[in-house]
């Protein structure tokens, strides 16, 4: 005999009371690992693709995606700040970062990160993710980064431990540089005399001071003094501009820019080969301030007035 409407209603209310938290029993399954660099997300691990995947070293965030909600209290602590409750990472994070040569390939100050939890289903229905963010953008270039997962801290609300590996490794790409130039219809690049040439590195650079000795700019075989300016919001970008004593780039002649091999990222990892580009400046010839650049031109192509 089929149960009557009242029995069905009672059973439904009982079931609702038992699952009022909305979080089903079961172990959270690690679905994927997503590497975010330069605003681009790259999938670097799934249960069926476990080989080491190369990623851009300038990582901003690494997301560990699960198929259900986790116990956020094992990942973050609730604290009161200015009479307002907020969450902060636990003192013992559930995911830690390491690489084999950390004793030598290390930034100043030393690498650090924080691990947070996000219950929003950003990666698909019912998903949640644990995000690891470096304090400063980037991991060492040309290295193997290993993430160790503490399964006892990555659980469901009922304490069911996660399903997935306890370690996941990602290989970072080499340290390299490229240039951002406009391109004409014939493939040549022409810029105004005041153009600040963006140099895009694959990883964070330590400082413009450490980069300066590896930058050489020439026009018709003559050294051109330049100024290096860091991008205030992106530590992988450095701008090259003509020294103030020039008044602008030389007009109508090829300008050759070279970033020499040996330039290093913030972790001391060197570029294996040089990066080079050529462009021309067009427009009105710049008017150099009195005195010209005679002193600066003898200083390896750098603007000595900036020292």
Q: Which of 157, 172, 187 is the last residue of a domain?
A: 172
- The predicted structure's pLDDT at residue 54: 87
Higher pLDDT, 19 or 148: 148
Amino acid 47: pLDDT: 93
Nearest CA to 195 among 303, 283, 281?
A: 281
Residues 150 and 269 in one domain: no
Q: Which of 140, 172, 204 is the last residue of a domain?
A: 172
CATH number at residue 246: 2.60.40.3710
pLDDT at 221 over 60: yes
- Calpha distance 80→84 (Å, rounded): 5
Question: What is the predicted pLDDT for the residue at 43?
Answer: 95
Is 161 a residue whose pLDDT tops 70? yes
Q: Which pLDDT band, with edges at 50, 70 and 90, does 295 fall under?
A: very low
The answer to whether 215 touches 240, Cβ cutoff 8 Å, is: yes
* DSSP, residue by residue, the chain: -PPPHHHHHHHHHHHHHHTTT---SSPPBEEEEEEEETTEEEEEEBTTB-S--EE-S-EEEEEEEESS---GGGTEEEEEETTEEEEEE-SS-SEEEE-TTTTTS--SSPP-EEEEEE-S-TTSTT-EEEEEEESSS---SSSEEEEEE-TTTSB-TT-PBPBS-SEEEEEEPPP-EEE-----TTS--EE-TT--EEEEESS-BS-HHHHGGGEEEEETTEE--EEEEE-SS-TTEEEEEE-TTTSSPPBSS-EEEEE-TT-BBTTSPBPSS-EEEEEEE-SSPP-PPTTTTHHHHTTTTB-GGG-
Between strands 222-223 and 226-230, the pairing is unpaired
pLDDT at 53: 73
User: Is the per-residue pLDDT at 51 higher than 90?
Assistant: no
Provide the pLDDT for residue 135: 97
Percent pLDDT > 70 in the chain is 82
Residue 48 tokens read as: 């069926």
Q: Are residues 98 and 189 in the same domain?
A: no
Give the pLDDT of residue 22: 55
What pLDDT is stored for residue 183 in this prediction? 74
Give residue 36's pLDDT: 98
pLDDT at 159 over 50: yes
Look-up of token digits 């080491």: 52
Residue 3 in this model has a pLDDT that exceeds 50: no
What is the rounded CA–CA span in Å between residue 296 and residue 224? 8
Read off the pLDDT of each residue in 274-282 and give the average, rounded to a whole number: 94
Instruction: Single out the residue of 238, 234, 232 nearest to residue 215, CA to CA.
Output: 238
Q: Total structural domains in the chain?
A: 2
Cα separation, 298 vs 232, in Å, equals 29
Mean pLDDT of all residues in 179-186: 74
Which range, 52-61, 104-113, 177-186, has the best average confidence (pLDDT)?
Answer: 104-113
Cα separation, 113 vs 264, whole angstroms? 22
Q: What is the structure's pLDDT at 52?
A: 65
Query: What is the structure's pLDDT at 300?
Result: 42
The residue among 172, 196, 223 that closes a domain is 172
Q: What is the CA radius of gyration of the chain?
A: 27
Higher local confidence (pLDDT), 188 or 282: 282
**CATH number of the CATH domain containing 111:** 2.60.40
State pLDDT tens for residues 79-138: 888 888 889 999 999 999 999 999 999 999 999 999 999 999 999 999 999 999 999 999
Mean pLDDT for 185-196 is 76
Q: What is residue 291's predicted lDDT score, i.e. its pLDDT? A: 56
The predicted pLDDT at position 4 comes to 39
pTM equals: 0.84
List Cβ neighbours of 150 (8 Å cut-off, separation of 6 or more).
94, 95, 96
The answer to the question of residue 211 being in a domain is: yes
Mark whether 157 and 186 lie in a shared domain. no
268: nearest Cα among 110, 135, 144: 110
Domain with 252 in it: 177-300
Domain shared by 65 and 137, yes or no: yes
* Residue 242 predicted with pLDDT over 50: yes
Q: Which residues of 60-85 are buried (b: 16+ CB within 10 A; e: fewer)?
A: bbbbbbbbbbbbbebbbeeeeeeeee
Q: Which pLDDT does position 111 carry in this prediction?
A: 97
CA distance 98 to 172: 13
Average pLDDT in the chain? 86
Does residue 306 sit within a domain? Answer: no
Same domain, 181 and 160: no
pLDDT band at 27 (very low <50, low <70, confident <90, very high): very high
pLDDT tier at 287, thresholds 50, 70, 90: confident
Distance CA 210, CA 171 (A): 25
């Amino acid at each position: 005999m089929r149960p009557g409407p009242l029995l069905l209603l009672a059973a439904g209310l009982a079931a609702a009371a038992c699952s009022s938290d909305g979080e089903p029993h079961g172990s959270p399954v690690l679905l994927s690992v997503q590497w975010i660099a330069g605003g681009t997300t790259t999938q670097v691990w799934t249960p069926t693709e476990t080989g080491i995947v190369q990623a851009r070293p300038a990582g901003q965030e690494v997301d560990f995606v699960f198929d259900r909600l986790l116990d956020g209290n094992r990942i973050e602590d609730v604290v009161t700040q200015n009479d307002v409750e907020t969450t902060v990472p636990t003192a013992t994070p559930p995911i830690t970062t390491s690489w084999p040569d950390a004793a030598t390939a290390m930034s100043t100050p030393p690498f650090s990160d924080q691990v947070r939890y996000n219950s929003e289903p950003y990666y698909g229905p019912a998903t949640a993710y644990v995000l690891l963010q470096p304090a400063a953008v980037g991991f060492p270039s040309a290295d193997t980064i290993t993430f160790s997962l503490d399964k006892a801290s990555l659980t469901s609300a009922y304490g069911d431990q996660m399903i997935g590996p306890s370690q996941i490794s990602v290989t970072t790409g080499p340290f390299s540089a490229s240039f951002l130039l406009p391109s004409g219809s014939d493939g040549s690049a022409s810029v105004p005399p005041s153009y600040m040439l963006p140099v895009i590195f694959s990883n964070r650079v330590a400082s413009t001071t450490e980069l300066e000795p590896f930058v050489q700019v020439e026009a018709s075989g003559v050294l051109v003094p330049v100024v290096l300016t860091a991008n205030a919001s992106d530590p992988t970008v450095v701008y090259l501009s003509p020294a103030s004593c020039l008044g602008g780039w030389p007009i109508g002649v090829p300008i050759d820019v070279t970033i020499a091999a040996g330039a290093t990222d913030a972790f001391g990892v060197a570029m294996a080969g040089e990066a080079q580009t050529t462009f021309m400046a067009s427009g009105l010839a710049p008017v150099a301030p009195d005195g010209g650049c005679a002193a600066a031109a003898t200083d390896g192509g750098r603007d000595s007035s900036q020292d």
